[in-house]
Amino acid sequence: MINLKSAQEIEFMRRAGKLTAEARALAGSMVRPGVTTMEINREVDRFIRKNGATPSFYHYNGFPASVCISVNEEIIHGIPGRRRLQSGDIVSIDVGAQLNGFHGDCAATFPCGEISPDARQLINVTRESFFRGIANAREGKRLGDISAAVQQYAESFGYGVVREYVGHGVGTKLHEPPEVPNFGKPGKGPRLLRGMTIAVEPMINAGVPGVAKLSNGWTVVTADGKWAAHYENTILITGDGEPEILTAPAI
């Protein structure tokens, strides 16, 4: 069942979202050559806890870190470790924080040093596909209207839209109904109602949409080895026409 949030619950969601967005910004500011992914994880974990929250991802279903950090061909669920970032890498960082019983969830892909024009375009298109999608996040429309807009924009550049992993509802649980695919048909799916809080998160591959999972049981990579980007915000369906991005400022 889709949980519609009350005014008080929405305020709690705003607070969790704001903190989560700040944690994402901190992580992004650390992306530079020579920094290890574990150093980013450590600082973000410290920041979230210092602000009275807990990292949503820490030990979630057994995940061994507080931040998902995925580099180049890694799409999602990269495990932080000793890997040192290099100039030219693109780094997808997914952060969640639970505050007062409610979660925020957001992600972005950041350039490390000087990156290629192709990599820059992939990042920009992935981010823009999110905004194309949420232009349809209006009360009375259908979830498929968001999904179709994301897919249409990303595929217009010849990119592959990941099918196996999708967005989701967010609230007292990190993952709630409904699922929010990045592909679909307009006019299909659940009707969007005020009070819905959902994570819209395009995961876009430079090549084919297929994926594979590494032997660590977590990290998802592109099937063809080409690079991928990820962009996510938690949004609120309002009665005012425009959705509210709870994990603003958007990056």
Burial of 6 (0-12, 13-18, 19+ CB in 10 A): exposed
pLDDT score for 237: 98
Please tell me what DSSP assigns to residue 61: G
Q: Is the dihedral of CA 138, 17, 228, 115 positive or negative?
A: positive
Q: How many residues does the chain have?
A: 251
Confidence of residue 240 (pLDDT cuts 50, 70, 90): confident
The reported pLDDT for the residue numbered 251 is 47
Average pLDDT, stretch 82-96?
98
Beta-strand (E) ranges in 72-119? 74-76, 90-99, 102-111
pLDDT classification of 136: cutoffs 50, 70, 90: very high
Start-to-end CA distance of the chain, whole Å, equals 31
- Sheet bearing 211-213, strands edge to edge: 74-76, 220-222, 211-213
DSSP conformational letter for 63: -
Cα separations in angstroms, 90 against 42, 50, 69, 75, 115: 20, 28, 10, 11, 8
Q: Which tops the pLDDT comparison, 89 or 240?
A: 89
Q: What is the mean pLDDT of residues 175-192?
A: 98
- State percent of the chain over pLDDT 70: 99
Averaged confidence pLDDT in the chain: 97
The one-character DSSP state at 59 is T
What type of residue is 117?
A: P
Residue 249 has pLDDT above 80, yes or no: no
What is the spatial distance between Cα 159 and Cα 249, in angstroms, rounded to a whole number? 26
